Structure 1
Amino acid sequence: MVELSPSRLHGSLSAPVLGSIGFLNEVMGRFPEAISFAPGAPHPETLPDPQMQHYTDRFLEHLGAKGFAPERARRMLFEYGPSRGIINDVVSEALWRDHRIGCAAEELVITVGAQEAMLLVLRALFASADDVLAVTNPCFVGITGAARLLDLDVVPVHETAQGIDLDGLARACRTARRDGRAIRALYVAPDFSNPGGGRMSLDCRHRLLELADQEDFLVLEDNAYGFTAGAGTELPALKALDTQRRVIHIGTFAKVAFPGARVGYVVADQQVLSEGGGTRPLAAELATLKTMVTVNTSPLPQAVIAGMLLEHGGSLVELSRHKAALYQRNLSTLTDALDRHLGGGAALPGIRWNRPEGGFFVRVHLPVRADARLLEVSAAKYGVLWTPMDQFYLDGAGDTQIRLSCSYLDPGRIEEGVRRLTAFLTKEIRA
């Protein structure tokens, strides 16, 4: 019988970042009665009716209006389809209508969630061992995990309350250049990042794009949580401010529609030179890579997503309006409960938390190490789960922080969960 040595397998298989989600799922499985602030999943109330025929019919009507014969349109839902996607025009129009992100359908690729978009973009951009990926610190494990799979070097840049530390990013560029290397791209989630919850100010957005021009790097913008901004507090996406095609914009329908569809997208309008002197968009190169990864994104979920958009006037904002209000309610419930039960940290010195204006997550600082042992105590004795923050940091800076997600719970469960968390912190940390 063949036995495989770990030393002969890719090193990413033993990387902590790849095991972080599995670890949380294992803990949740062992304590099913615990209130869990761990998953950043959409609330069950936001999931659509399981009868999806209405949405696919709506998309077929759209194809008919574009001149597709009924049989040809129907077959599009059941055949492989083009690797770049079949709903590009609907998504492109929605991005312009709601966010003033201008892109042609051919400058867009419909992907298997945002995760595939990240993997494709990293694979396309990083051609040399001298290329470095910069990320915010703390950072979403999806991008750092994808970089680990591709053996890319990653440098962390601190995230401030106003967004990424631009001085720190400039220093990282200088350091890389001194070492004969270059920051090829920066990953950033400017609106309510996972896990930090930070939001980039408008001034920081403009200055980041200026720095990208000066230092010649691309910006990978993750826009998963921008829709949760309160009415009247919206800020333009980096891509909407991008006049030099520096920004590659990555989005997902997991939160604004439903996660089981596994449909995301990437706007990549950068022009790639060909040997004959012409150009084609980077999106075309990503679509070529996609043929060797997933071949295409399943047409049926694409049709459902497009139908949902069309049902809401072709608008991402209208599609997500109810969900945004629910998440704003949950976030306020969580931060208000922390204020009431933990008293702003007065009762328990050394405990503090941020107050994001949107998104799914609140970050809590503790005066002790928040590790797997402490999580085990919290789950077993007090019936409350949370996420240790150390997995999101590249420099070990988050070992005394926890992440609380408010997205999956009802207000009553959030309130009870904070009561349990307070009891846990009061008794275990003081002990």
Structure 2
Amino acid sequence: MPATSPAAALDIAELHGSLTDPLLDAMNFLNEAVGRFPEALSFGAGRPTEGAFEPEQLAQHLQSYINHLEQQPGWDRDRIRTLLYQYGRTNGVIHDLIARTLENDEGIVVPPESVVVTTGCQEAMLVVLRALFARPEDTLLVSSPCYVGVTGAARLLDIAVRPVPEGASGPDTEAVLAAVRAVRAEGGRPRALYLVPDFANPSGASMTVQARERLLQLAEQEDLLVLEDNPYGFFVRTGSPRPTLKSMDRNRRVLYFGSFAKTALPGARVGYVVADQEVVGPQGERTLLADELSKIKSMTTVNTSAISQAVIGGMLVESGCRLREANAEATAYYRANMDTLLDELERHFPPARRAELGLHWNRPDGGFFLVVTVPFAADGKALERSARDHGVLWTAMSDFCFDGGGRNQLRLSCSALTHDQIVEGIGRLARFIEEEAAVAGG
């Protein structure tokens, strides 16, 4: 038989540069570690608890949505069948229920037509970035440390990113202003700022009401759009919920990203963006930005799964379009978990020992995450030792900082663990930290 030539291989240098970017490997590395050390307790995952999920409920939610449609004028059996079985409206079919829920839960009053229902919040980010960033000089400002989903999307789209340092209460408005001026001085155009004002991923930081007001003033002054992401706002640990930037927005400066992954059902992969800004055409015609986003969405996922939307729609109907109330039990669960996490850190590292080690952590007002600063490099090699020798996983904060920060910090998530697992896991983590600190100290 004649010799066969080897199959042609593709040169990585001829593929998009993002494929060799460490940013896109960050989450894959953690997932790989989870697979290699299945017995390890993981403080790495930011997924919600599965305690309230039952498979039978999916059919119930679907039926609730069908019942809802049957009560609406003009919705007969044939029309309902078409909605569920066929391709649907690009911008989504539960936009009216989402708009009603936003008004009830957040005081955000927008027309339903301004809501674009997406395949997870990740698609919302990708579509919005593609629409807004039209010129090479357009620059995305991000609160740093930052959720890797948005910086990864920007990398895929070759969008320039400028980090804005985050303090204990989120991004400082003066730092935002300094970043805006620096970008302009370099010939760029600061187009939008992305941030998570409530219990941010990864830091757990939250903005004060005064800082939110000042940021909206600055956005108007500097012609800057604000991309507000709010996956954790329901899960308050201390104090009262703070108003979203979008509910305070009087000049349509804010695009609002939402997701049902944390508040309803992550497996449905349903997110959305509120884009109520007007767009002026060449002849002076006016449309909603949401309508323009639908043009891009039609070239990505065509439309978000009608079945997934129907399941989420059923959950909204069952809650009376009041998801905050429906999440009361989950909020209490996450509050208790965060309290346990903080209590166990305090028990293993009382003030005197923390001072000796140079160890400290923040105390978030809610959400899933907190950050521990440690006296050693919290990198991939340290994570390997932590999982292999101590059976505990966490996330390196350097994965969220592309300006060289976070090297001595790790993120802990308390959302997917039980009380007993947190107690055991922090005991393991404490032994790991003591061991690493001893090595680092010689």
Point out the more displaced range, 252-261 or 337-346. 337-346
- AA aligned to 1:186 is L
Q: C-alpha displacement at 1:176, in angstroms?
A: 1.5
Which of 352, 355, 358 is residue 350 of structure 1 equivalent to?
358
Q: Determine the C-alpha separation between the residues in 2 that align with 1:70 and 1:314.
A: 24
8 Å CA contact 1:352, 1:365 repeated in 2: yes
8 Å CA contact 1:190, 1:222 repeated in 2: yes
Gaps of 5+ in 2: 1-6
Which of 344, 354, 371 is residue 363 of structure 1 equivalent to?
371
Tell me which residue corresponds to 1:31: 37
Q: How does 1:104-115 map to 2 (within 5 A)?
A: 104-115=111-122
Q: Determine the C-alpha separation between the residues in 2 that align with 1:391 and 1:151.
A: 19
- AA aligned to 1:46 is A
Q: Determine the C-alpha separation between the residues in 2 that align with 1:95 and 1:345.
A: 46
- AA aligned to 1:252 is S
Q: C-alpha displacement at 1:365, in angstroms?
A: 0.2
Q: Determine the C-alpha separation between the residues in 2 that align with 1:123 and 1:379.
A: 39
Tell me which residue corresponds to 1:373: 381
Tell me which residue corresponds to 1:46: 52
Identity %: 48
296 and 329 in structure 1: CA distance in 2 versus 1, 3 angstrom threshold: same
Tell me which residue corresponds to 1:239: 246
Q: Determine the C-alpha separation between the residues in 2 that align with 1:243 and 1:124.
A: 22
Q: RMSD across aligned C-alpha pairs, in angstroms?
A: 1.2
Which of 134, 150, 157 is residue 164 of structure 2 equivalent to?
157
Q: Normalized against structure 2, the TM-score is what? A: 0.95
Q: Determine the C-alpha separation between the residues in 1 that align with 2:361 and 2:114.
A: 40
Point out the more displaced range, 56-65 or 20-29. 56-65
Counterpart secondary structure, 2:327: helix
Q: C-alpha displacement at 1:349, in angstroms?
A: 1.8
Counterpart secondary structure, 1:295: coil
Is residue 394 of structure 1 aligned with residue 393 of structure 2? no
172 and 56 in structure 1: CA distance in 2 versus 1, 3 angstrom threshold: same
Tell me which residue corresponds to 2:24: 18
8 Å CA contact 1:35, 1:417 repeated in 2: yes
- AA aligned to 1:187 is Y
Is residue 69 of structure 1 aligned with residue 76 of structure 2? yes
Q: Determine the C-alpha separation between the residues in 2 that align with 1:315 and 1:44.
A: 20
- AA aligned to 1:321 is A
Counterpart secondary structure, 1:77: helix
Q: Determine the C-alpha separation between the residues in 2 that align with 1:424 and 1:230.
A: 28
Gaps of 5+ in 1: none
Tell me which residue corresponds to 1:404: 412
Q: Determine the C-alpha separation between the residues in 1 that align with 2:50 and 2:213.
A: 37
Q: Determine the C-alpha separation between the residues in 1 that align with 2:61 and 2:270.
A: 15
Q: C-alpha displacement at 1:232, in angstroms?
A: 5.5
8 Å CA contact 2:237, 2:367 repeated in 1: no
Q: Determine the C-alpha separation between the residues in 2 that align with 1:382 and 1:426.
A: 11
Is residue 130 of structure 1 aligned with residue 133 of structure 2? no
Q: C-alpha displacement at 1:48, in angstroms?
A: 4.2
Q: C-alpha displacement at 1:23, in angstroms?
A: 0.4
Point out the more displaced range, 207-216 or 50-59. 50-59
Q: Determine the C-alpha separation between the residues in 2 that align with 1:169 and 1:364.
A: 25
Which of 322, 330, 340 is residue 315 of structure 1 equivalent to?
322
Q: C-alpha displacement at 1:231, in angstroms?
A: 7.5
What is the CA deviation profile of residues 336-360 of structure 1, one whole-angstrom value per residue up to 9, with x for unaligned ones?
1101111146255211000101111
Tell me which residue corresponds to 1:79: 86
What is the CA deviation profile of residues 60-114 of structure 1, one whole-angstrom value per residue up to 9, with x for unaligned ones?
1222222111221122111110110000000000101111111111100000111
Which of 303, 312, 320 is residue 310 of structure 2 equivalent to?
303
What is the CA deviation profile of residues 220-274 of structure 1, one whole-angstrom value per residue up to 9, with x for unaligned ones?
0000000101475100000000000000000000011111100001000000012
8 Å CA contact 1:46, 1:258 repeated in 2: no
Q: C-alpha displacement at 1:167, in angstroms?
A: 1.2
Q: Determine the C-alpha separation between the residues in 1 that align with 2:324 and 2:335.
A: 15
Tell me which residue corresponds to 1:333: 340
Q: Determine the C-alpha separation between the residues in 1 that align with 2:292 and 2:77.
A: 31
Runs of 4+ in structure 1 off by over 4 angstroms are none
- AA aligned to 1:61 is N
Q: C-alpha displacement at 1:400, in angstroms?
A: 0.6
Point out the more displaced range, 97-106 or 56-65. 56-65
Tell me which residue corresponds to 1:88: 95
Q: Normalized against structure 1, the TM-score is what? A: 0.98
Counterpart secondary structure, 2:371: strand
Q: Determine the C-alpha separation between the residues in 2 that align with 1:409 and 1:163.
A: 26
162 and 231 in structure 1: CA distance in 2 versus 1, 3 angstrom threshold: closer
Tell me which residue corresponds to 1:291: 298
Q: C-alpha displacement at 1:185, in angstroms?
A: 0.2
Point out the more displaced range, 275-284 or 391-400. 275-284
Is residue 117 of structure 1 aligned with residue 163 of structure 2? no
Q: Determine the C-alpha separation between the residues in 2 that align with 1:307 and 1:383.
A: 40
8 Å CA contact 1:95, 1:316 repeated in 2: no
- AA aligned to 2:326 is L
Q: Determine the C-alpha separation between the residues in 2 that align with 1:398 and 1:51.
A: 41
